[in-house]
Amino acid sequence: MGPTVDPLLAAEAGSALVREIEASGAWTRDPELRAAFEQVPRHLFVPYYYVTSSGGGHERLWGEDPDPARRARWLHGAYADAPLATRVRDGELLSSSSQPSLMAKMLQELDLHDGDCDVLEIGAGTGYNAALLAHRLGEEHVTTVDLDPEITESARRHLTAAGYHPAVVTGDGTAGCPERAPYDRIIVTCTLTSVPRPWLAQCRPGARILAPLATGLIALTVQDAEHAEGRFLHTPAYFVPLRGGSTRAPHEQHLGGLPRGALRHELFRFLLELTAGSLDPYEALALWQREGRPVRERFGVTVRGPHEWAWLDDPEGPYAWPLA
């Protein structure tokens, strides 16, 4: 059972969220996604979440709070266009519900189509994204995988409360889900440092993989089990790392001499993340300055057999770095 709320208040909050997402231009190529966001109630997927308290810790808001003012705060936050921390352990964020407008953009960039379009989601989270996919494509076409059995159990419970029953699998997302393959799309809701090879083998030729990598979103087209390639989207993206590890902060001990202006520049930080372990940060700075502060869309990733590398402008060009 999900939290009990006034259906009129929930509908009003949901409509306001849809209007806010629509204003961002998220549905320009797939207006059917709008219906998914209209009809899938987000509050059922975040029966509680954490906000930063005035003392710097985490305050829990939940839908069964006996205080009506705090329940109203919870409902308002559930339909805010903002990420929500749903699992915190020892002060570390383990799982979250992503910002809805970013989810909408990612789903549009996934380039879904009617008919037989089978999707694998890596990182079940609250189950909300799987519900949106199930509404858009039909639940029989959706599989979501997570390593943590507590996360998959709560996602399954939320999905059931909302009336959706896609396949929810507990397992290592880097191994994909071979028993449900092949897939036409793979969407990843946790940050990668490299592309797991089993995903390519479980995709149909021409499949699309959309994944957070180095504070960006890489969109790969799969040629076959040994080859995939694609460019970054312009959209910045910050997700919990795959397997729930700590966020990588490359070269932090060596960044003291770099100009503060560069370190504060979001695109330079993206380049540092992308080249971590492969390129000295001062070389990265020289490249960034020489190439006119290149935007994300100029970068890409190639997977070919045992090799995997990131590149600027051309996968066979002079600027290429092996991924971690």
| Residues designated catalytic | 95
End-to-end CA, the chain: 43
* C-beta neighbour count of 293 within 10 angstroms: 12
Helix count (H) and strand count (E) of the chain? 10, 14
* C-beta neighbour count of 198 within 10 angstroms: 17
The type of residue at 4 is T
> CA 322 to CA 324: how far, in whole Å?
7
Strands of 40-166, DSSP E: 48-52, 58-62, 84-89, 92-97, 119-122, 142-146
